[in-house]
Structure 1
């Protein structure tokens, strides 16, 4: 919990100083935790994923997973796996930056106190540069880990237009992504004939998405997305995106605003052949939650501020920070939330008109709870222990927070 306690810069030693632990815990041991201690990011991430699924999803419900990559800007010639690469979050037309590019997979949940879905990051991969494993292949590895961890659940994966390809065709998982305007679509695999030779794997080409928008039949659909209900027009077509997903059966879903008579606004491709058009559109809209999660981790929690350079710390600090973000949200959603949490802030800050807790509010309440617990613990052991030890024990035993938050 030291990561969430410190309001200062989230470097390894900065967290110790901000949390008041610099005199209790050696900064050498804190640095060794990331550089030398024996623990695996995937095992820790899967443990957190099981916590999220058990506590925040209904029993047996499908798991929606959002995948995306984001750049953590870093400087210095000796930073492990730092490259010049695309930075989608960069302001202005120059979408280029130098740093560590990471692929993030998060579980999308609907919390009881929010109207929009929330993405909780659980698995991570560090891109090693050109001519190595691509971000799409890294995303496929994480999806395979999740399907192995949750064999009794269907996993629905959503990603932006960059995430398409056969590595994402994972058993017991579906993939939904945005379709480029020049995608080559084909009719489904035709039935076998009595002719000699290899059977055909794809049918004829029905045309581009623009051509199909002019010929397919449109239906009016109501869909829940971005926290409210919209009325849209949708057209669907069973097809193959052979260049990306080979002969995996799929569907094209075209979307446009009501009243439009030409073209389309959004084209989606999904390997889920049983869901309705409204479900596919709503599922793809949930993808935006991972963009919010990445921005929250960077701006509010300070993920990526650690100034390490060698391989192990670079590979571990960012995932650890994101997992702290997920754990804080889980704590707040299960035992920390109260309907009056925003009353004090709305009264003190009249310009803050949000009616739903943001991650900043969750973090602030966790800090207050930890502070109250430390005071209670100090009073309880004051006759026997120095105060500095009480702070150390409060961090070692976070399970006692349940009693302090009640």
Structure 2
């Protein structure tokens, strides 16, 4: 099969089943593929194409694209799917695509996100990002390569008892998320259930974390802009002390929220940026405060915006400063449906064995997969990518790297989840 060189992007020929080496970086071996777990057509596909899967991943890793700029990534995936006779359909904006495999009324979806983060990579890998200020520090390159491979493997199946829809989604890293683009384009129309995996550096390769109910949290952005006439710091009583007002909100709003919201909801407000003034002896005329507001409870999320607005108004009323609050609602919590989670677990067990199943805690991070689950049932799981040796950098760190054995595990898991969901 012809694959892409992981750094140049040019085609290169490889013999089936021969694993590529790249400047001494360790590669998955045939033993890592799990041959013998079946079905036979999947075992055969993985033996013949495991090297290619890693090469596709390394190419995507070396050439990351930011949210809604994933044109080359989309073109690569579309070409891979077309090479096995599939007919992918691009989303209207030109980034992201959907592709159906099989026939029949029953349809289940598998989703991967495609975009990179606005970070400069510091791994030192030979296939590290070639783009300054962009890298795949969240594993979306792995998600894309695994789903493309799973789709190509499913296309080799003698027969499927229904349809599998592959969703390659742009713009997961920005709010409110590219999932809404997919939904608006009809990407989940007539889909019965949807499933997804996300890299987890806290789990070893070969393990998959599942959970019924909320597995991620809602994430909103807050931006508060304050205004004041300004003045001399020796006469704060003749103006509105803007910095004091900022401090009042910085400490007061999280404290009040903790008394107005059930603490079991996992609601947390953390400020990430604050700026006001330059001179030590001048009361500034403007200032800005930004932060994230997260909650693990869907009902609480629905009520947060008016509650926050009222609390900010009450905190600032005595200070005399003017203010403008911008509350950007982000993504809802990912709420895994019970039966779909049981189906996902059955797929994992069929792919890897019962010992591969692990529980997982709810994350306070956001994930726009939650938008799909506002419309159809589904389940989202965590795929282990830690080698089990030494410290593993976390997601969104510029030193994040995964154990490439997880790629082949992910292909097998995604394929078996689809088969279990259609059974």
Q: Which has the higher helix share?
A: 1
Q: Report the TM-score, using the length of structure 2 for normalisation.
A: 0.26
TM-score, scaled relative to structure 1: 0.27
Relative contact order (alpha carbons < 8 A, sep ≥ 6): 1 or 2 greater?
2
**Which has more strand, going by share of residues?**
2
